[in-house]
Amino acid sequence: MREFGYQRVSDVSGAVALLDADPEARFLGGGTNLVDLMKSGVERPSRLVDVRALPLDRIERTDDGGLRIGATVTNSDLAAHPEVRRDYPALAQAVLAGASGQLRNMATVGGNLLQRTRCGYFADVTQPCNKRLPGSGCPAVEGEHHNHAILGASEHCVAVHPSDMGVALAAFDAVVTYETADGPGQLTLDAFYRPVGDTPHRETALPPGALITGVVLPPAPVAARSRYRKVRERASYAFAIGSIAAALDVREGRVHEVRLAFGAVASRPWRATTAERELTGQPADAAHFAAAADAELAAAVPLPHNGYKVTLMRNLVVAELTELAEESARTEEAGR
């Protein structure tokens, strides 16, 4: 591990100024990903700027009825917050599915967004990896890739994004706010994560030295009837091999509004906009759910050992939307 400096900050402008002066420094939240990468030699910062004392640890209502979540809110506090659980239950479920209680107590919202892939080739500095060393190649294409991307990948990288939280945020049109030396800015989550293309090492559209200050969730009544399901190779404390955040509003048997986002299938949380378009206005039944999933997954380009993810994601779409539709029907019947 490279020798590094450490400095704790108490104001946003001071934190941003430190990285502006030292581009090799890194912001430190909970450290649950960054410190591991430093131990393995993937990350070699000159200094850690500890941002946990910044006044960014609140969850509060926005003027239009959405939620503003501070960047240093811990995953545990996010999952337990009553308004998150009531208005965006899939988000709370996603966070609880993400890690052990000990890690959730340390991990922060901002850090979760910036966590890096768990691809074994990326984590092993003795191996080539375009994400870690641009131009060196992607050995996963011909090597071990059973848990790699089937959507949005390229010949340059087939790694997947590991966040559970990010999948739910993608479904609910989250906006990431940040601060730079030039002032504040914001990015929709869709714009926040860059496509792989031929620059997989450039994972986000954040300006250099930017500090994430929070996440804003717009008001979304459909999100109150949402859920998150994660499939993994063991019962707990494992990264997903496929996941889904789904929300559904059914009126008179037809889909009025639907939100779908997939996890563990692409380099970023994958918003299933094609499936959403296919479903809107259609009967809320398993046949239409399956057809919408097929339309979304028509763009999938699986590798020899991860084609199972296409079937897995299709089944997840049908199962989750069917459960939500049945729940909606029961609620409608009880209200008569």
CA distance 327 to 336: 15
Taking all residues of the chain, what is their mean pLDDT, rounded to a whole number?
Answer: 96
- Per-residue model confidence (pLDDT) at position 185: 98
Q: Which two tokens stand for residue 34?
A: 């960054």
pLDDT band at 169 (very low <50, low <70, confident <90, very high): very high
| C-alpha pair distances (Å), 281 with each of 205, 250, 253, 256, 320 | 34, 9, 10, 6, 18
The distance in angstroms from the start CA to the end CA of the chain is 65
Task: State yes or no: pLDDT of 56 exceeds 70.
Answer: yes
Could you give the angle at which helices 308-334 and 286-297 cross, rounded to 10 degrees?
140
Cβ-contact 261, 275 below 8 angstroms: no
Find the range with the poorest average confidence among 61-65, 233-237, 316-320, 329-333: 329-333
Task: State yes or no: pLDDT of 333 exceeds 90.
Answer: no
Task: State yes or no: pLDDT of 125 exceeds 90.
Answer: yes
- Per-residue model confidence (pLDDT) at position 237: 83
Tens digits of residue pLDDT in 15-33: 999 999 999 999 999 999 9
For tokens 């892939």, name the residue: 117
* SS3 assignment, position 261: strand
Residue 287 φ then ψ, to 5° = -65, -45
Helices (H), the chain: 12-21, 34-40, 75-80, 82-87, 89-98, 101-106, 109-114, 120-123, 165-171, 189-192, 273-279, 286-297, 308-334
Find the range with the poorest average confidence among 23-27, 100-104, 211-215, 258-262: 100-104
Q: Which two tokens stand for residue 115?
A: 């966590």
Cβ-contact 72, 58 below 8 angstroms: no
CA distance 333 to 253: 12
- Per-residue model confidence (pLDDT) at position 1: 79
Give exposure, 83-115, as e/b (b: 16+ Cβ within 10 Å).
Answer: ebeebbbbbbbbbbbbbeeebbebbbbbbbbbb
- Per-residue model confidence (pLDDT) at position 15: 97
* SS3 assignment, position 169: helix
Task: State yes or no: pLDDT of 335 exceeds 70.
Answer: no
Tens digits of residue pLDDT in 281-299: 999 999 999 999 999 999 9
Contacts of 301 (CB under 8 A, 6+ apart): 150, 151, 153
- Per-residue model confidence (pLDDT) at position 329: 82
Tens digits of residue pLDDT in 229-251: 999 999 888 999 999 999 999 99
State the CB neighbour count (10 A cutoff) for residue 59.
19
- Per-residue model confidence (pLDDT) at position 99: 86
pTM of the predicted model as reported, rounded to 2 decimal places: 0.96
- Per-residue model confidence (pLDDT) at position 336: 60
